Amino acid sequence: MINNAAISMVLRQIAYLIELEESQDNDTNKNKSNAVFKIRAYRRTADVIENLSSNVEEIYNKWKLKGLTEIPSIGKAIASKMEEYITTGKIEYFEELKKRTSINVDEFYHLEGIGIGPRTVKTLHERLGIKNLSELEKAAKEGKIHILPGFSYKKEESILRKTQSFKKGRGRYLLGDIYPLVKQIEVRLSNLRGVKKAIAVGSFRRMKETVGDIDYLVSSDTPEIVMDYFASMPEVDEVIGKGHSKTFVKLNNGMDADLLVVPKESFGSALQYFTGNKEHGVALRKIAISRGLRLNEWGVYDSNTDTMVSGSKEEEVYDILGLEWIPPEMRENNGEIKLAKKERTNDSNNLKLPDLINYNDLKGDLQVHSNDTDGMISIRDIALAAKEKFGLGYIAITDHTKNLALTHGLDEAG
């Protein structure tokens, strides 16, 4: 089954390609106006689909095209293209747009999120013949970009830095992009009969800015049932490997995900083992050894008798090591273990684990867009949600200026 994230991605790429074409200087004002409308429509639809609680393919299977057009902000033209994607796995209009350019859209599309947009890409393509990421990096290294009109040394350095950063992080996903999908699967597993607990661990649980793959940990006495269910979920594109208590899959969005099922008496130890980074885990195992213990993903054991002394609860694992429970976000071996020690030395009496910032600490938001430009809802609805749902004291509406036509920028009259 096609998931919402996949459809949203295609719609965003279509918007990107339209903007790439729109940036040509020989376009008429009428064509530019039509392009602006299309770009906004595709991006808004992508936003709606990405945040939709129901699966779009399920909606289509039940109500066909009519069901898609009844989703807020989706017109018949885009709904028809969504129907084509759901039924055939591709959109002919998207394929035509890709054929009309020699630029590697699959590479450059991802740079838009770090400040290298389609207009910049189009200009560099026309002036320097740049078609892909490697050529962009090469041109920046050779100093060919700053001499172009509208560019500078600073801009060239920024492009090089961002390009190299993107290449280094390729294969990783922004936390915000994958968070809904990861939580969706976590909820599915949690609601499965026989499952006591299900948690996404690893760098996702540590809330790192980017995540390479997803690891799920489940407590259940019926691992075979959990394995079968995980492998057959609609979010799964391919099953890479499947065993008695562990399964590896590739999700529809291209991410690798694996699932480990452990008994309840080992869940806390496994939760600790698979959450912290490597250095954090090594440091904890050294503490365990110093206390005559052995620590692994299955539990905490007495080194002399090999008897399991802890493991069912994560808090108890830290406690038996003489530590306060450490929040997942801090488990990077950057001093958090010293701060968590219950037995204080003279030089650490006043040290303790800091409190994490949470949603209740947020007082306001200084960058909000309304549906007057490229936002989703009205200023009134934004204000009500900010106050009633999030408890904010203030917001700043920062809709785009008229100089940014692609987002229907506002003038003095609105």
- Looking up tokens 């009205």, which residue turns up? 378
Confidence of residue 265 (pLDDT cuts 50, 70, 90): very high
Per-residue model confidence as pLDDT tens digits over 273-318:
999 999 999 999 999 999 999 999 999 999 999 999 999 999 999 9
Are the CB atoms for 359 and 390 separated by under 8 Å? Answer: yes
Domain ranges of the chain: 4-168, 173-262, 270-348, 359-407
Higher pLDDT, 42 or 54: 42
First to last CA, the chain: 43
Position 345 scores a pLDDT of: 61
DSSP, residue by residue, 1-26: ---HHHHHHHHHHHHHHHHHHHT-TT
Pick the CATH number of 4-168 from 3.20.190.10, 1.10.150.110, 1.20.1290.10, 3.40.640.10: 1.10.150.110
Measured between alpha carbons, how far is 235 from 204 in angstroms, rounded to an integer? 18
DSSP, residue by residue, 248-294: EEEETTS-EEEEEEE-GGGHHHHHHHTTS-HHHHHHHHHHHHHTTEE
Supply the angle between the helices 175-190 and 223-231 in degrees, to the nearest 10: 140
Are the CB atoms for 212 and 222 separated by under 8 Å? Answer: no
Confidence of residue 53 (pLDDT cuts 50, 70, 90): confident
Of 308, 307, 222, 205, give the one whose Cα is nearest residue 263.
Answer: 222
Measured between alpha carbons, how far is 184 from 79 in angstroms, rounded to an integer? 24
Per-residue model confidence as pLDDT tens digits over 328-349:
999 999 999 999 998 766 655 6
CATH class of 270-348: alpha beta
Of 206, 165, 200, give the one whose Cα is nearest residue 333.
Answer: 206
- Looking up tokens 């690798």, which residue turns up? 256
Per-residue model confidence as pLDDT tens digits over 146-160:
999 999 999 999 999
Measured between alpha carbons, how far is 326 from 319 in angstroms, rounded to an integer? 10
**CATH classification code of 173-262:** 3.30.460.10
